[in-house]
Copies of this chain bind each other. A is one copy, B any other.
Amino acid sequence: MGTALMTWPRNDRVTEPESPRNDMSVMSTAMVTASYGPGGTQDAHVRRLRDLLRSAILRDGFPAGQLPGEPELMTSYGVTRAVVREALALLRREGLIDRRQGVGTHVVVHAVLARLAEAHGAADPRVDSVFNRRLRPRVLDRSTIPLPAIAAERLGAPPGVPCLRLEYVALLDEEPTALATNYVLFPEAERLLALPFDTDWYALLRDAGIGLGESEFVVGCAPADATNAPLLDVAEGAPLITIEQVIRDATGRAFDLAHIHTRGDRFLFVSRAVREHASGI
């Protein structure tokens, strides 16, 4: 089969072409309105087109942020106008695009792709990295408090010992992108208290001469609610990436626990993993 272009469904499991070759750009109505077969319901076609478009939107994949028009999307993906419209409606509801009569459909978000290793603070930031002093913190709290019980368990420290609670909204180009609450043990806390905090967390640690040996993330997601939506400038219910981070020093001693909420439309994390001993083949 090689890389030959596919001009027609390959077997009887296929009922609807989705990405015809260029010379099929004028599809017959009969093809486009074919009944949905094993390829799925209309919902399935909407979902797949939405996923493909979302990926391109967040990766800045459309020139000048302008999406193709409905006819082009219908042709390129071999779907009906109803499928195209519903996929675009979902993306608009997510706040990723805007549609205007006569102007078309354009991207209204600008997401940053952050290397996971940089987000961990484990790799030196590249020149253009968001972690290269491009963030600015709006500090919400900088208090010394007794270490809360659950934080104590995560840090392996006794509850009630003093810790620095440093809480801030990370702004990128003056727009909120993440909200972080850090619980930092002493003596590291003492060094942080002695310094101004005016850029990103890892720059602060470096400036304070605090070595980062290892970082652990537990990554999940949660909806924004009344307690964080206004701080992140999102609607309640907007999906946020949640990161619980534990930072250890070079000896393995945990000294910082952070609960971080990140806007899903502002930050994407890129993670690469290489298999050392490739299996198969």
**A-to-B contact residues, CB < 8 Å:** 1-7, 9-11, 13-14, 17-22, 38-40, 43-44, 46-48, 50-56, 58-59, 61, 76-78, 90, 93-94, 111, 113, 116-117, 120-123, 140-154, 157-162, 165, 167, 181, 186-187, 190, 205-206, 208-223, 225-228, 237-242, 244, 249-250, 259, 264-265, 267-275, 278-281
Contacts and interface: CB of A to CB of B under 8 A. Distances in A.
Contacts of A61: 150, 153
- Count identical subunits in the complex: 2
A121 B278 CA distance: 10
B17 A51 contact: no
Specify which of A117, A187, A208, A212 lies most central, judged by the most chain B CB atoms within 10 Å of its CB: A212
A14 B144 contact: yes
16 contacts: A13-B142, A19-B147, A48-B148, A52-B149, A52-B150, A52-B151, A55-B154, A55-B259, A123-B275, A211-B281, A216-B270, A218-B268, A219-B241, A221-B241, A237-B237, A242-B264
Nearest to A212: B275
B218 A219 contact: no
B271 A160 contact: no
Contact of A241 (B19, B54, B220, B244): B220
A220 B277 CA distance: 29
Which of A22, A51, A148 is the most central at the interface, judged by chain B CB atoms within 10 Å of its CB?
Answer: A51
Given A10-B144, A219-B219, 8 more contacts: A3-B161, A6-B162, A18-B146, A48-B165, A76-B148, A78-B146, A211-B280, A220-B269
Contacts of A19: 145-149, 151-152, 159-160
Contacts of A239: 221-223, 239-240
A39 B143 CA distance: 7
B259 A209 contact: no
B39 A141 contact: yes
Nearest to A49: B148
Contacts of A274: 122, 213-214
